[in-house]
A and B are shown apart, each in its own frame.
Chain A
Amino acid sequence: MDKVVFLLSILSLGVSSQSITDSQRLFTIAVSRVQHLHLLAQRLFADFESSLQTEEQRQLNKIFLQDFCSSDYIISPIDKHETQRSSVLKLLSISYRLIESWEFPSRSLYGGSAQRYQIPPKLSELMRGIQLLIKANEDGVEMFSDSVVPQLAPYGNYYQSLGEDESLRRSYELLACFKKDMYKVETYLTVAKCRLSTEANCTL
């Protein structure tokens, strides 16, 4: 009996070490995916801004400050200190929620960009990856996402509710918010990955 327990413990050790390695690999993949999405968002936003005229730009800037991003309800760390204080799991869950919040609105990004760059499928893939990471790293902690998911429904149509004449403003908002959220997820995932890596120097 003791031997069996011993063997099982060794096995679980091996599995956990394996899982750590798998986790690292998954993190790497997730980080690279979100980096790609972020760069895409940056490019889309820059293209949009360049297509605007100066006066419009100024107006939009003013307006933007007073608007909300749909993902503002998700409370996320806004500086380094807060981020480092958060646990890996928290970071992962926040990331998951942020990505999830863009699953539907991303389809109406400016200029058919969503279809051209296949943003919604990429987001879905990233969500699946983060889910795997959460499963790999959870150790009995309650998941946030389960409780929050039902609440997303009313916000899902936030951008669709805006009128037609504000399409330019809506596009601007969409692109800016999308860019911001992608950057957030990238930062959180990078920090979480570094925290889990065994190497002292995370960047290598």
Chain B
Amino acid sequence: MKNMVVVGVLLLSLMPHANGAGFSPPGKPTLTSCRSPEKETFTCWWEPGSDGGLPTTYRLFYLKENIETVYECPDYLTAGENSCFFSKNNTSIWVNYNITVVATNELGSTMSDPVDIDVMYIVMPHPPEKVLVSVLEDKDWPFLRVSWEPPQKADTRSGWITLVYEVRIKLEEKDDWEVHLAGQQRVFNIFSLLSGGTYIVQVRCKPDHGFWSEWSSSTYVKVPNYFHRENSVWILITTFTAFIFLIVSWMIHMNRHSLKHCILPPVPGPKIKGFDKQLLKSGKSGDVFNALVASDFPPTTPPRCEDLLVEYLEVYIPEERELMREESKHLQDGFLKSEGFASDSDSGLGSCNSHTLLMDNSGEAKETDRRTDQERSRPGAEALTYAREDVSPDMSSGRVKTWPSVFSPLTPYSSGPTDQPGAKQHCLSDSVYPPGSTSPCSAQDLGLNYWEFCFSSMQPHLTQTRSDVNVSDIGPERAAARQQSPAPRPTEYVEVQRVSEEDMVLLQPVGPGPGPPARPGEDYSRVKGVRGHNVLLLQTEEEADGRACEELETKGAAHKPTACSHGGLPAPGRAAPAASGYVDTAMFVLPSC
């Protein structure tokens, strides 16, 4: 009894002493976490509060689901400071635990907030073990193979825990990780590595309903240098490309002129006769254009024959019907040609300048003709002189060119205007005069025209007939000329001097350059009109006096001896023109095609 009182007094004396020193009951501890590494055991950790200056003890109490008994932590030591370890025997899964930590010191005790846990949901495994990283090669490209083992304590073999893994990798000097989910497998391949780089690899795992483990310890791996192989390929490619480029540029250099021609074709120069490029370059445009203007154009004086451009009409009469069509085209072309008045001297067939044989031979004869022609070639005079040749069938292509036959005028004329120097010969085609026909209207009545006919049905004899007829007129020279006429170039031409009006074509005989003096003056006939496809109506100059139409029958088959026109005899005392106004085509020598 006395002992108890003493103890009580002592305690009482002690207590105020303790209070007086500033101590306080412990602060409230906090349960930080409870974790189970393998779903069989678990550990809880707490954070102690202030101890109040006095030694404080911490005790953990828990309640199990549906059981009233309060249990205390079985093991405070295994898991370290401020922890409680629940062994297998003390762990029940799918059972709710209500855990509380109590801090006690001399002055009092404080309880923490209770925490409810279910072991199945607090699983956090240990990190994977035995992480191995090896460098392998896949067709000269290296890759990493990472392999590991599950944490030892986790029972994955029986299926108690199902773990999924995650791998992460980064370059040693970099900061950002590349994370890959590996699923339930224990091996993982990583590709697309930097040549010669050093990598750090880590692995962690997680149960299907739980927390991620900590990352495993770092594994270092060095990737070998494989870039040099890649490099050599690039060097090869670069060299090859440079070589090809050199070759191509050299080829372009060699062919630069032709290339230049191809890409930038030269601008064609002007093709105007009399156009002086140098003058243009010098910049005097006035002079340039003045030079173009032909001084003798329009010709005020009777032009020299050489100066004029040659224009001739070619009319072909086809042999067959099929040819006729073809010919008609030519005829029309011929007609068209006659309308032009400035053309090259080398146009068309049978250039007048080409064959001069007959003319040369019959130079003398021509002279007389010229004279007579000249007489009649007064403007206004209508004389048709013909250069007649023997119609030797010189038909190379089935067309016989008409050969001009020079007919002396039936009526002699007084010499007219002086011979023009360098007068061209007449190129006239003879009309085929059908045998037996009446005497043709004199050629002299007709204007000086050159028509080249191609009569398919032309018979040479017709022409010869004609020529025979004229032999008498012509005289021996003529005959001689005629005899000599089988010249290879039987045609002579009349050049179109100009087209003065719409329907007037001025023709001028064309002869060789230095030949006998060409007939001076001009003979022309007016084109009255075109009838049909192959008929050209010509008008003699003395149309006013009487219409003399010359019709040239170009139809081969129909060589009708048309009535000749008697329009406008050049000489005074012209006969009245024939009523029909047609020219007898027989006047013309029409070579057979």
Chain A residues near B (Cβ < 8 Å): 35, 38, 42, 61, 64-66, 68, 72, 78-81, 83-84, 180, 183-184, 187, 190-191, 193-195, 200-204
A183 engages B157 (CB within 8 Å): no
A66 engages B159 (CB within 8 Å): no
Chain B contact residues (Cβ within 8 angstroms of A): what range? Answer: 20 to 34
Task: Give the chain A neighbours of B63 by CB distance below 8 A.
Answer: 65
Complex alpha-carbon distance, A187 and B39, angstroms: 11
With A78-B92, A79-B92 in contact, do A61 and B209 touch (Cβ < 8 Å)? no
B94 engages A183 (CB within 8 Å): yes
Task: Give the chain B neighbours of A81 by CB distance below 8 A.
Answer: 88
**Apart from the given pairs A84-B160, A191-B159, 7 other A-B contacts in the complex at a CB distance below 8 Å:** A35-B208, A78-B95, A79-B88, A80-B158, A83-B160, A202-B157, A202-B158
Task: Give the chain A neighbours of B98 by CB distance below 8 A.
Answer: 61, 65
A44 to chain B, nearest CB (A): 14
A141 to chain B, nearest CB (A): 21
Task: Give the chain A neighbours of B181 by CB distance below 8 A.
Answer: none
Chain B residues near A (Cβ < 8 Å): 39-40, 63, 65-66, 88, 91-96, 98, 116, 118, 120, 150, 155-160, 162-163, 184-185, 208-209
With A42-B209, A79-B91 in contact, do A65 and B157 touch (Cβ < 8 Å)? no
Complex alpha-carbon distance, A5 and B152, angstroms: 48
The residue that B157 contacts in the complex, of A64, A193, A200, with Cβ under 8 A, is: A200
Complex alpha-carbon distance, A84 and B208, angstroms: 19
A202 engages B66 (CB within 8 Å): no
B185 engages A194 (CB within 8 Å): no
B162 engages A191 (CB within 8 Å): no
Complex alpha-carbon distance, A69 and B118, angstroms: 15
B158 engages A191 (CB within 8 Å): yes
B160 engages A191 (CB within 8 Å): yes
Complex alpha-carbon distance, A184 and B92, angstroms: 13
- Nearest chain A residue, comparing its CB with the CB of B64: A65
With A65-B96, A183-B209 in contact, do A79 and B156 touch (Cβ < 8 Å)? no
- Nearest chain B residue, comparing its CB with the CB of A193: B159
A61 engages B184 (CB within 8 Å): no
- Nearest chain B residue, comparing its CB with the CB of A183: B120
Complex alpha-carbon distance, A108 and B150, angstroms: 41
B94 engages A78 (CB within 8 Å): yes
Complex alpha-carbon distance, A35 and B209, angstroms: 10
With A35-B208, A203-B184, A204-B185 in contact, do A180 and B94 touch (Cβ < 8 Å)? yes
Task: Give the chain A neighbours of B66 by CB distance below 8 A.
Answer: 65-66, 68, 72
A80 engages B209 (CB within 8 Å): no
B281 to chain A, nearest CB (A): 95
Task: Give the chain B neighbours of A193 by CB distance below 8 A.
Answer: 159
A-B contact list, 15 entries, CB within 8 Å: A35-B208, A61-B116, A78-B92, A78-B93, A79-B92, A80-B39, A80-B40, A80-B158, A84-B158, A183-B94, A187-B120, A191-B160, A194-B157, A202-B157, A204-B184
Complex alpha-carbon distance, A85 and B593, angstroms: 128
Complex alpha-carbon distance, A61 and B99, angstroms: 12
A11 to chain B, nearest CB (A): 32
Task: Give the chain B neighbours of A80 by CB distance below 8 A.
Answer: 39-40, 88, 93, 155, 158, 160
Complex alpha-carbon distance, A200 and B186, angstroms: 14
B40 to chain A, nearest CB (A): 5
Complex alpha-carbon distance, A61 and B63, angstroms: 12
A30 to chain B, nearest CB (A): 13
With A79-B40, A81-B88, A204-B184 in contact, do A64 and B96 touch (Cβ < 8 Å)? yes
A137 to chain B, nearest CB (A): 16
Count, A-B residue pairs, CB within 8 A: 71
Task: Give the chain A neighbours of B92 by CB distance below 8 A.
Answer: 78-79
B38 to chain A, nearest CB (A): 9
Task: Give the chain B neighbours of A195 by CB distance below 8 A.
Answer: 158-159
With A65-B63, A79-B92, A80-B40 in contact, do A190 and B162 touch (Cβ < 8 Å)? yes
B91 engages A202 (CB within 8 Å): no
With A61-B116, A79-B88 in contact, do A38 and B209 touch (Cβ < 8 Å)? yes
Complex alpha-carbon distance, A191 and B155, angstroms: 11
Complex alpha-carbon distance, A201 and B154, angstroms: 13
Complex alpha-carbon distance, A66 and B118, angstroms: 15
With A80-B160, A200-B157 in contact, do A65 and B88 touch (Cβ < 8 Å)? no
Complex alpha-carbon distance, A117 and B162, angstroms: 25
Task: Give the chain B neighbours of A66 by CB distance below 8 A.
Answer: 66
Complex alpha-carbon distance, A75 and B199, angstroms: 52
B159 engages A203 (CB within 8 Å): yes
Complex alpha-carbon distance, A190 and B157, angstroms: 11
Complex alpha-carbon distance, A194 and B158, angstroms: 6
- Nearest chain B residue, comparing its CB with the CB of A42: B209
B163 engages A203 (CB within 8 Å): yes
- Nearest chain A residue, comparing its CB with the CB of B162: A203
A65 engages B65 (CB within 8 Å): yes
B94 engages A184 (CB within 8 Å): yes
Task: Give the chain A neighbours of B65 by CB distance below 8 A.
Answer: 65
Complex alpha-carbon distance, A190 and B208, angstroms: 12
- Nearest chain A residue, comparing its CB with the CB of B92: A78
A107 to chain B, nearest CB (A): 23
Task: Give the chain A neighbours of B163 by CB distance below 8 A.
Answer: 203
Task: Give the chain B neighbours of A61 by CB distance below 8 A.
Answer: 98, 116
Complex alpha-carbon distance, A184 and B209, angstroms: 12
Task: Give the chain A neighbours of B118 by CB distance below 8 A.
Answer: 180
Task: Give the chain A neighbours of B116 by CB distance below 8 A.
Answer: 61, 65
A79 engages B93 (CB within 8 Å): yes
Complex alpha-carbon distance, A80 and B159, angstroms: 10
- Nearest chain B residue, comparing its CB with the CB of A57: B116
Task: Give the chain A neighbours of B91 by CB distance below 8 A.
Answer: 79
- Nearest chain A residue, comparing its CB with the CB of B38: A80
A106 to chain B, nearest CB (A): 18
- Nearest chain B residue, comparing its CB with the CB of A194: B159
B28 to chain A, nearest CB (A): 16
* 7 tightest A-B CB contacts, nearest first: A194-B159, A190-B159, A203-B156, A202-B159, A78-B92, A191-B159, A203-B184
Task: Give the chain A neighbours of B159 by CB distance below 8 A.
Answer: 190-191, 193-195, 202-203
With A65-B63, A180-B94 in contact, do A201 and B157 touch (Cβ < 8 Å)? yes
Most buried by B among A80, A183, A184, A201: A80
Task: Give the chain B neighbours of A201 by CB distance below 8 A.
Answer: 156-157
A109 to chain B, nearest CB (A): 19
Task: Give the chain A neighbours of B39 by CB distance below 8 A.
Answer: 80
B384 to chain A, nearest CB (A): 121
Most buried by A among B120, B150, B160: B160
- Nearest chain A residue, comparing its CB with the CB of B39: A80
Most buried by B among A42, A78, A183, A203: A203
Complex alpha-carbon distance, A35 and B159, angstroms: 14
- Nearest chain A residue, comparing its CB with the CB of B113: A58
Most buried by A among B39, B94, B150, B156: B94
A202 engages B156 (CB within 8 Å): yes
Task: Give the chain A neighbours of B209 by CB distance below 8 A.
Answer: 38, 42, 183
A25 to chain B, nearest CB (A): 16
B185 to chain A, nearest CB (A): 7
- Nearest chain A residue, comparing its CB with the CB of B159: A194
Complex alpha-carbon distance, A80 and B158, angstroms: 10
Complex alpha-carbon distance, A187 and B155, angstroms: 13
